[in-house]
Amino acid sequence: MSCAEDINLLAVVVDTNPAAWAAAASDPDRPLDFVKIIEQLLIFINAHLSLKFDNELAIIASHADQSQFLYPLPPADPLDAADDEPSKPANVYKQFFDVDRAVVSKLKELVDDKRTKSAEHENRSMVAGSLALALSYINRIKRANENNSVQSRILILSISPDLPSQYIPTMNCIFAAQKVSTRIDVCRFSGRKYGGESVFLPQASHITAGIYLDIPEPSNLLQYLLYTFLPEPSMRKTLLLPHKDQVDFRAACFCHKNVVDVGYVCSVCLSIFCSLSKKCPTCQTVFPAPK
């Protein structure tokens, strides 16, 4: 079992889109409480850290107009250097304490941020951007530990609808993850007023051999997390874990960003369109008139 000696890196991407969470909180059937979800997530993260001494972690918030590292904090961040750093109480493990504190304070910062209150980016979440950050961070950790093998995986907690304009970057991230055999696990909330079916995320987990899970009962989130997403990649050969059978391989068209199941593809550049046109807007090829 040499894989037991690997460094385990878990990158968590949390969807913090305020509009979606506001909608979820007022959902009649399955109301979601953001604070409670984060609490359960933090226990899960502590569980990940407690499995092994050198387990690595990154948490990224995928907000409406930006992505932000919640942990680790960027070097020389004021939070890190603060003189009035509250000293750690004796009943908390140092590592847990650092993570929890960083996540909570950074999240507060994000939620209070005035810029995101503007209506123009209502219901968006920068999942692709967060994935790009996560992969860059994973790449850095892998480079820093060239002698030890690093097993990495990404967990996305998602609630927002797909953002069609992020199709290409999302796919690029998926392929980049596949290249370094990083699994992308997806934990998706959906209720009547939020979530809905995602097209990109099942593809992400399917291509990278990750797990896609719709959370039927959000109040039991912690159990789902511990059961399904805690086992490190090397354990996936041993433990039976859920997997999604039906994967939607439809794509978004380039012209209207609609999700299509039959589309027209430019033979030169493979751009997808939902209707016939005379000229490819992507590569400027002029097509012969349809007969």
Partner 1 sequence: MSSSAEVAKGVTNSIQEYLQSLPRQTFDQLYAQPATCLATLRLLPPIAKQVVMRLLYTQKPVAKADVEVWCFPDHRGDLQDSLSKLSRLHICTDYEEHLQMNRIFQENFHNALVGGGDHVSFGQPMNDNKGEVDIALLDRHAAESWETVLHQLVGTPGDRRPKAVTKLLLASGLQEFPDDGGYSETNEHQKMNITSKGFQFLLLDVNVQVWSLLLQYLGLAERQLNMDIVQVLNFLFQIGSLELGQAYSVEPLTDTQRRVMEDLKYFGIFYQRTKKSRKFYPTRMATSLTSGSMVSSRKPEDSQGYIIVETNFRMYAYTDSPLQIAILSLFVSLQARFQNMVTGLITRDAIREALTKGITSDQIITYLTAHAHPELKKQSPILPQTVIDQIRLWEMERNRLRLSGAWLYSDFTDLNEFTQIVNYAEPLGAVLWKNEKRRTLAVTEEGHENVKSFRKRAAAARAGGAGR
Partner 2 sequence: MATASKPAAKVATNGATKKAAPPIDDEDSHGLMGASGQGYSWEEEYKRSWDVLQEDEQGSLVGAVNSIQMQMKRRRLNKDTKVVQRGIIRHLYLVIDLSRAMAELDLKPSRVECTLALAEQFVAEYFDQNPLSQLGVIITRDALAEKLTELSGNPTDHVDVIRKKANREPRGEPSLQNALDLARTSLAHVPAHASREILVLYASLTTCDPDNIIDTIDALRRNEIRVSVVGLSAEVQVCKTICKETKGTYRVVMNEGHFKELLFENIPPPPIAMAQNMSNLIKMGFPITRNFDPPTLCACHHKPIRKGYACPGCSSTICDIPTDCPVCALTLVSSPLLARSYHHLFPVDNYKEVIPGPPLPDVLATTATPLAGHCFACLQAFAPKAGASNAALVGLRSARYECGRCMNSFCWDCDVYVHEVLHSCPGCVNR
Contact partner at residue 227 from partner 1, partner 2, none, CB < 5 to 8 Å by partner kind? partner 1
148 in helix, strand or coil? coil
**Which listed option, partner 1, partner 2, none, makes contact with residue 173 (CB within 5 to 8 Å by class)?**
partner 2
Contact between 164 and 258 (Cβ < 8 Å): yes
User: Closest approach of Cβ 5 to partner 1, in Å?
Assistant: 4
Shortest distance, position 149 Cβ to partner 1, whole Å: 8
Nearest Cα to 229, choosing from 40, 18, 2? 40
Q: Is 290 exposed, middle or buried (0-12, 13-18, 19+ CB in 10 A)?
A: exposed
**Which pairs from 28-33 meet CB under 8 Å and 24+ separation?**
28/192, 28/193, 29/191, 29/192, 30/191, 30/192, 30/217, 30/218, 31/191, 32/159, 32/189, 32/191, 32/194, 32/218
Interface residues for partner 1 in 23-52 (CB under 8 A)?
Answer: 43, 46-47, 50-52
The angle at the Cα of 137, spanning 45 to 127, to the nearest 5 degrees, equals 75
CB 162 → partner 2: shortest distance, Å? Answer: 12
- Interaction between residue 269 and partner 2 (CB under 8 A): yes
The piece of 65-73, 92-100, 104-112, 278-286 that touches partner 1 (CB under 8 A) is 92-100
Q: Which is closer to partner 1, CB of 36 or CB of 257?
A: 36
- Which tokens belong to 220? 């039991």
- Out of 26, 50, 118, 136, point to the residue binding partner 2 (CB under 8 A): 136
Q: Assess 159 for contact with partner 2 (CB under 8 A).
A: no
By CB atoms closer than 10 A (0-12, 13-18, 19+), residue 27 is: middle
| Closest CB 83 distance from partner 1, rounded Å | 11
Instruction: State the minimum distance, in angstroms, from the CB of residue 142 to partner 2.
Output: 10
- Distance of closest approach, residue 231 Cβ to partner 1, in angstroms: 5
Query: Which residues form the interface with partner 1 (CB under 8 A)?
Result: 1-2, 4-5, 43, 46-47, 50-54, 87-94, 96-97, 100, 145, 147-148, 222-223, 226-227, 230-232, 234-235, 237-240
